[in-house]
Amino acid sequence: MIDINLIRTNKELVKENIRKKFQDEKLPLVDKVEELDKKSRELKLEGDNLRQSRNTLSAQIGALMKEKKIEEAEKIKELVRKNNERIEQIDKEEEVLTEKIRKLMLVIPNIIDKSVHIGKDDSENVELKKFGKPTLPNFEIPHHADILESINGLDKDSAGRTSGNGFYYLLGDAARLETAMINFARDYMIEKGFTYCIPPFMIRASVVDGVMSFAEMNAMMYKIEGEDLYLIGTSEHSMIGKFKGQLLKESELPIKMTSYSPCFRKEVGSHGIEERGVYRVHQFEKEEMIVICKPEDSMKWYEKMWEYTVEICQSLNIPCRTLECCSGDLADLKVKSCDVEAWSPRQQKYFEVGSCSNLSDAQARRLGIRAKGEKGSYYLHTLNNTVLASPRILIAFLENNLQADGSINIPKALQPYLKGQEKIIPKK
């Protein structure tokens, strides 16, 4: 959510930002907010004047009563009564206007960073840099579901019976491998100075409302029937929500946290749920990171955070690249975002395994997360980034570490988490 002062002082900037995101249908919202805000401020001024008048009149009543001027005092009491009625009416009108403005402001997108490439959709995202050399083995790489089957690592049929399409069982070495990668990512982030956290896996609507747009919520999140709770689609929502309504000390900044959680997503859209494999599913596991910092530090942290994911991919022998999200592909709360994509030797192309985002003060304004400085309180900036998300990173790992004989190499960084195991040998 942007600062309403931007609409008051530079609404053309807000409109131009909407155009850059190719959301022209939202342009009238800016004028509507301006109109409602003007009316709200006029009502506030009227209410303040009436309160001041009431205080003056109340003092006069006291003086007249002392002088036994009962009739004059009663006339002024009637004026005070009418003032009170109007003040009560103004308060109700202001409350309605405030809620209308808030709902509109939640839909108006955040101001994107000047460095963001202007483009309509993800087809116009821009490659930034490649890391590691993409492998082109001289043998055929099977589908990841076949690799998992060769080590007795995947059972989707049973999951279909227990839970339906979009769920799976990971078994044996496959399950151990996924857990090893998540534990490696956890320890890597702890070494970088992040506080490890296992957050709540359900959050209230007020937190959901604070961290994402309505469209994202409806497409992603499962609601618990009959309760004010949603299953998390990603753990940064719980971690950012932890600071809802808090006034933090500058000495505590930056706040750096990394978390483990299962994640649950509807995956509504044209892509659907895969019948085969585990690339797009309803449930997965993830190690996540967030930073809450001063506004002037957020871009510095943005650059650091995606670099951590790249370093982890390199430790796992996974070539990757960074891809900047263009303006039309940015979610409304984000000012800048990039995807980390892993190389798929089977498909001979890159695919997304993580995303790093700077949301400036958008989430902080929605949730009321501030810090107190020398010049008063101010809203903080929030950032999030995928450290490692499985099963997508598992797919990339299997394809890039598969050998011609069907065995899977275990990189040195991961061996301590698998009791020194250097290979996974196929059972089929």
Asked if the structure places residue 114 within a domain, the reply is no
Query: Is there a contact between 257 and 297 (Cβ–Cβ < 8 Å)?
Result: no
**Identity of the amino acid at 216:** E
**Residues 156, 93 share a domain:** no
**Residues 165, 92 share a domain:** no
**Residues 127, 99 share a domain:** no
Tens digits of per-residue pLDDT, 289-322? 999 999 999 999 999 999 999 999 999 999 999 9
Tens digits of per-residue pLDDT, 313-349? 999 999 999 999 999 999 999 999 999 999 999 999 9
Q: What DSSP letter does each residue of 173-226 carry, written as one string?
A: HHHHHHHHHHHHHHHHHHHTTPEEE---SEE-HHHHHHHS-HHHHHHHPPBPTT
**Identity of the amino acid at 367:** L
H or E, element range at 159: helix 156-162
The SS3 of residue 245 is: coil
**Residues 144, 93 share a domain:** no
Instruction: Give the rounded distance of the alpha carbon of 355 from its chain centre.
Output: 10
Asked if the structure places residue 80 within a domain, the reply is yes
**Residues 95, 232 share a domain:** no
Residue 168: count of CB within 10 angstroms of its CB: 25
Asked if the structure places residue 112 within a domain, the reply is no
pLDDT, residue 158, reads 97
Residue 225, classified by CB atoms within 10 Å of its CB into exposed (0-12), middle (13-18) or buried (19+), is exposed
Asked if the structure places residue 113 within a domain, the reply is no
**Residues 294, 230 share a domain:** yes
When mean pLDDT is compared across 7-16, 53-62, 196-205, 367-376, the lowest value belongs to 53-62
* Mean pLDDT to the nearest integer, 116-129: 96
* Mean pLDDT to the nearest integer, 39-60: 90
pLDDT, residue 55, reads 84
Asked if the structure places residue 115 within a domain, the reply is no
Q: Which CATH number fits the domain that encloses residue 91? A: 1.10.287.40
If pLDDT is split at 50, 70 and 90, which confidence band does 216 have? confident
Q: Which two tokens stand for residue 256?
A: 């750096």
d(CA 11, CA 27): 10
If pLDDT is split at 50, 70 and 90, which confidence band does 213 have? confident
**Residues 231, 358 share a domain:** yes
* Mean pLDDT to the nearest integer, 391-415: 97
pLDDT, residue 66, reads 79
250 pLDDT more than 80: yes
* Mean pLDDT to the nearest integer, 64-73: 81
pLDDT, residue 271, reads 60
**Residues 135, 83 share a domain:** no
User: pTM of the prediction?
Assistant: 0.90
**Residues 390, 320 share a domain:** yes
Q: How many domains does the chain have?
A: 2
Domain housing 94: 4-107
Give the bridge partners for 320, in sequence order.
131, 342
Query: Is there a contact between 174 and 148 (Cβ–Cβ < 8 Å)?
Result: yes
Asked if the structure places residue 236 within a domain, the reply is yes
Handedness of CA 307, 313, 319, 324 (dihedral sign): negative
Asked if the structure places residue 79 within a domain, the reply is yes
